[in-house]
Amino acid sequence: MTEALVAEGLAAASDTDIVEVGRGVLARCGTILAGGLFAGGEPALVVADERTWAAAGAAVRDALAAAGVGLVEPLIFPGHPVLYAELPKSHVIRSRLEETGALGVAVGSGTINDLVKLASGDLGRPYAIVGTAASMDGYSGFGAPMSLDGVKTTMPCPAPKVVLIDLDVAAAAPPVMVAAGYGDLSAKIPAGADWILADAVGLDPIDPLAWRLVQSGVAEALSRPEALAAGDADAYSGLVSGLVLSGLAMQVYRGTRPASGAEHYFSHLWELAHLGADWDPPLSHGQKVAIGTLAMTAFYEEFLKRDLAALDIEAAVETWPAWSVIEADIRGRFSGALADNAVRETAVKYVDRDGLRARLTRFVTGWDDLRPRVVAQLVPARTLQDKLRAAGAPAVPEDIGLTAADVRATFPNAMYYRSRYTVLDLAREAGWFDELVSDVFAPGGLWS
């Protein structure tokens, strides 16, 4: 991990004070936590599931006891059924924290971290995470994604005060975990391109520090997929560092814009449909993100084959649908609370014809300067596909139980799912969306 960059991120971060990533961290975790979280004499509530308790939870409990930290009875969720980031589970943890006056120590990966994060945030208490797998970038991130009433939303809550990850523990995790982390980190490639577009049109200005925290280490972190698949603990350093830095960027930015774009909305929609929930082990967020990332990288390639600078703006404006047409299309694709959510989100980024003319004019006049930045941000879809496959991550829709037609059908829903502006929105506004989606799945394409 680039220590100077981590230090810069921690200096700007609102919540996290300590990040320790390396070999042997688990053996030192008691001392680190005693000074970094429990200096006020509060007891510790260790939260894990049966798998993460065996991997590191018991060791964390023993290390805390050896360091003189008081302990309450640990909260260990069953290994089956699979634990999900759902609001009622977080309330269970919150109640235990409230009853005992303890501070939480999450031992696990994404789900455990998010549940303890939200429970602690509800009580205004700091917490720590001892990560057990290089599976996602939310360890050091602000907010916790939760499923509630058929909608997945990121609920605001502070990031952990202390983040500890032992590379030997991470390397010993099931291979699907590193595959998930690799998929999640690969998403920063198209997500960065989406942020460039949103910044260019004046919607989401790029924060220079958050950008550097995410993007500076992505290439290195993705450079050794074979070694990661082989469980080489030293190779995990780059991947874990990239994931932790990504989380710090979200904390600095107070949102997920630096680390996710349209590719994540594919995953969110599939998660809400419980894709792979009955698999053993269940499909992870990062595994689904990998396919969303490839879908968006391929879409960008088709988009960049066209010359936006030559767009007939008035023709695009003339065919731009009224909001009532857009809302009807959304409600035809979604139902219930998810439809209401998609309508609210899409309304934020929708503009009338005058607004569209102004938006497209800004893109068209600046495209000659903007296009090289977008191109430099991206990686060829087939190159990325090879890397994902080498890391053991999904590389074709069938790897996550889908077909190419299923992925194709997700494109318009992903565009509507969130208010965040992406290349999907620009393509729709230019009048190219349907044609570009067809081009992605034409013979000779990535998955044909």
For the residues 314-330, what does the mean pLDDT come to?
98
Q: Give the lowest-confidence range in 63-77, 175-189, 271-285.
A: 271-285
Establish if 150 belongs to a structural domain: yes
Whose CA is closest to 421, among 184, 154, 192, 195? Answer: 195
Helix (H) or strand (E) holding 369: helix 353-377
Three-state SS at 398: helix
What is the mean pLDDT of the segment spanning 334-349?
96
Which pair of tokens denotes residue 315? 């023709």
Q: How far is CA 218 from CA 155, 174, 393, in A?
A: 26, 22, 16
Asked if residue 221 is part of any domain, the answer here is no
Clarify whether residues 154 and 12 are in a common domain. yes
State yes or no: pLDDT of 404 exceeds 90: yes
* 19/158 same-domain check: yes
* pLDDT computed for residue 150 by the predictor: 67
Please report the pLDDT score of residue 163 as a whole number.
Answer: 97
Q: Is the pLDDT of residue 1 over 60?
A: no
Average pLDDT score over the chain: 94
* Tokens of residue 131, six digits: 């990560």
pLDDT band at 76 (very low <50, low <70, confident <90, very high): very high
Shared-domain flag, residues 161 and 299? no
pLDDT exceeds 90 at position 68: yes
Q: Is 237 helix (H, G, I), strand (E, B) or coil?
A: helix
Q: Kindly state the DSSP code that residue 319 receives in the 8-state scheme.
A: T
Say whether both 134 and 200 belong to one domain: no
Per the domain annotation, does 164 fall within a domain? yes
Dist. CA 383–CA 393, nearest whole Å: 14
- Angle (CA) 89 93 97, round 5°: 165
Q: What is the pLDDT of residues 90-119, one digit of tens each?
A: 999 999 999 999 999 999 998 999 999 999
229 assigned to some structural domain: no
What is the model's pLDDT at position 210? 95
**107 and 199 belong to one structural domain:** no
Catalogue the E-assigned strands of 149-198.
151-155, 162-166
17 in the same domain as 133: yes
Beta bridge pairs of residue 164: 20, 130
- Give me the pLDDT at residue 138, please: 83
Asked, for residue 220, whether it belongs to a domain, the answer is no
Residue 117 sits in the same domain as residue 198: no
**Which CATH number fits the domain that encloses residue 11?**
3.40.50.1970
Give the C-alpha separation, 96 to 230, whole Å. Answer: 39
Residue 211: φ, ψ to 5° = -60, -45
| Residue reference for tokens 């209401």 | 340
Model confidence at 23: pLDDT above 70 = yes
Amino acid 304: pLDDT? 98
CA distance 47 to 49: 7
Asked whether residue 129 falls in the same domain as residue 267, the answer is no
- Mean pLDDT confidence for 431-441: 97
CB 297 within 8 A of CB 381: yes
**pLDDT at residue 269 is higher than 80:** yes
Angstrom distance (rounded) from CA 383 to CA 434? 25
Residue 129 has pLDDT above 60, yes or no: yes
Residue count (the chain): 448
Mean pLDDT value of segment 410-438? 98
The whole-angstrom separation of Cα 423 and Cα 418 is 13
Is 245 within a domain?
no
Residue 308, pLDDT score: 98
Banded model confidence at residue 80, pLDDT cuts 50, 70, 90: confident
**Domain co-membership, 104 together with 199:** no
Confidence band, pLDDT 50/70/90 cuts, at residue 85: confident
Q: Which of 208-222, 251-265, 341-355 has the highest mean pLDDT?
A: 341-355
Q: Mean pLDDT, to the nearest integer, of 267-281? A: 90
Interval 303-313: pLDDT, tens: 999 999 999 99
Tally of domains in the chain: 2
Q: What would the mean pLDDT of 252-257 be, rounded to a whole number?
A: 88
Distance separating alpha carbons of residues 197 and 195, to the nearest angstrom:
5
Per-residue pLDDT at 303: 98
Contacts of 262 (CB under 8 A, 6+ apart): 190, 194, 292, 296, 414, 415, 420, 422, 423, 424
Average pLDDT rounded to a whole number, residues 420-430: 98
Encoded tokens for 252: 């600095």
Q: Judge if pTM exceeds 0.85.
A: yes
The predicted model gives 39-52 an average pLDDT of 96
Chain mean position to CA 48: 21
Which residues form the domain of 51?
A: 3-173
Tell me how far CA of residue 90 lies from CA of 75, 77, 326, in angstroms. Answer: 12, 12, 36
Query: Do 200 and 107 belong together in one domain?
Result: no
Confidence band, pLDDT 50/70/90 cuts, at residue 235: confident
In a domain, 235, yes or no: no
254 located within any domain = no
